[in-house]
Amino acid sequence: MKGAANTSNKLDPTSFMTSSFIRYLVMVQKELLEQARSYKLLWVPLVFVLLGIMQPVSTYYMPVILEHAGSLPEGTVIDIPMPLGAEVLAQTLQQFGTLGMLVLVLACMGTVSGERLSGVSAIILVKPISASAYISSKWTSMLLLAWGSLAAGYLASWYYTGLLIGETPIVQAYESMLVYGLWLSAVMTITLLFSTWLRSSAAAAFAALGGALMLTLLASLFPKQLGWTPGALSGFAYQLAAAGTPDSSTLSAAVVVTIVCMLGSISLAALQLRKSLAAE
């Protein structure tokens, strides 16, 4: 694969670059079509939208719900202070971090391992495409799904929060979404890496979720020492949403480190794919 790049580069660098890029786009297209045909493109965003709506709605109706729960003695006065809109948004992000992330990881866990298990990859990878184009096309489509779902869910949450609880400036929501999206992207990248590495899709999902949990846990246990790691991103996003002002230098360090780690993981996945093909 490397060899092909070298020789073709000598001949005509621009045409090689474009043809390689076109093949990458073709594969992205195929991935998106697959997401559409398997209805992932429908139900993953739907889960996020539901989660997003549920948070403000359940907060708003909490007193009513408690009243009707029936286990309270007659005459109980329920007085729950209505939280700020920004707080509800932060809670929404926390919802995305559990159920939303689970759904995303489950939807993407078989992206490479599934194709290898079924044997399709034997037909696809003998075509003149590079392992990195194959991996990046999967990565791109996974990220599109994650960002799309997050944006849809968060927008729904922001709208309902504004209606029921209180308006939040959209810039604030926007910033927290960017940071949170980066965290989801990191988790997706880990999923892709494990899906390439491990034979079983379930093991890939388990490893990815475990890895994400570990990263968050470490960052929250040692916020001073590990504030710059990807695991701290979700915390920063909650802070941003709840109108807090996080330490901007640590935040930017975490952003840079996360992006570097993601690029590293993709390269590692491509390398792994090439190696496992040779070893099979």
Let me know: does 68 contact 155? Beta carbons within 8 Å. no
Amino acid at 75: G
- Classify each residue of 81-113 as buried b or exposed e, where b means 16 or more C-beta atoms within 10 Å of its C-beta: eebebbbbbbbbbbbbbeebbebbbbbbbbbbb
For residue 126, what is the DSSP state?
Answer: T
**Identified binder of another protein from the candidate list 69, 77, 123, 171, rule CB under 8 A:** 123
Compose the 192-231 pattern: x for residues touching another protein by CB under 8 A, - for all others.
----------------------------------------
Interface of this chain with another protein, residues 34 to 93, rule: CB under 8 A: 34, 37-38
127 binds another protein (CB under 8 A): yes
Let me know: does 216 contact 234? Beta carbons within 8 Å. yes
Compose the 261-280 pattern: x for residues touching another protein by CB under 8 A, - for all others.
----------------xx-x
Let me know: does 27 contact 21? Beta carbons within 8 Å. no
First-to-last alpha carbon distance for the chain, in angstroms, is 17
Phi, psi of 229 (to 5 degrees): -90, 160
Phi, psi of 78 (to 5 degrees): -100, 120
**Identified binder of another protein from the candidate list 118, 225, 249, 252, rule CB under 8 A:** 118
135 binds another protein (CB under 8 A): no
**Identified binder of another protein from the candidate list 7, 14, 71, 248, rule CB under 8 A:** 7
Nearest to 45 by CA among 127, 2, 107: 107
Quote the distance between the C-alpha of residue 255 and its chain's center.
14
- The CA-based angle 95-110-157, given to 5 degrees, is 20
Please work out the total of residues on this chain that contact another protein, with binding judged by CB under 8 A. 30
Instruction: Indicate the residue among 38 and 76 with the shorter CB distance to another protein.
Output: 38
- The CA-based angle 17-18-20, given to 5 degrees, is 65
Quote the distance between the C-alpha of residue 278 and its chain's center.
31
124 binds another protein (CB under 8 A): yes
Q: Which stretch binds another protein (CB under 8 A): 31-39, 69-77, 93-101, 212-220?
A: 31-39
Q: Which stretch binds another protein (CB under 8 A): 18-26, 67-75, 82-90, 248-256?
A: 18-26
- In the chain, the largest separation of any two C-alpha atoms, in whole Å, equals 86
**Identified binder of another protein from the candidate list 3, 70, 75, 81, rule CB under 8 A:** 3
Give, to the nearest 10 degrees, the angle between helix 248-279 and helix 233-241.
140
**Identified binder of another protein from the candidate list 42, 120, 221, 260, rule CB under 8 A:** 120
Minimum CB separation from another protein for residue 8, in Å? Answer: 7
**Identified binder of another protein from the candidate list 28, 93, 104, 125, rule CB under 8 A:** 125
Let me know: does 101 contact 212? Beta carbons within 8 Å. yes
Q: Which stretch binds another protein (CB under 8 A): 30-38, 153-161, 233-241, 250-258?
A: 30-38
**Identified binder of another protein from the candidate list 4, 17, 65, 256, rule CB under 8 A:** 4
Query: What does the binding site for another protein look like in residue numbers (CB under 8 A)?
Result: 1-4, 7-8, 19, 22-23, 26-27, 30, 33-34, 37-38, 118-120, 122-129, 277-278, 280
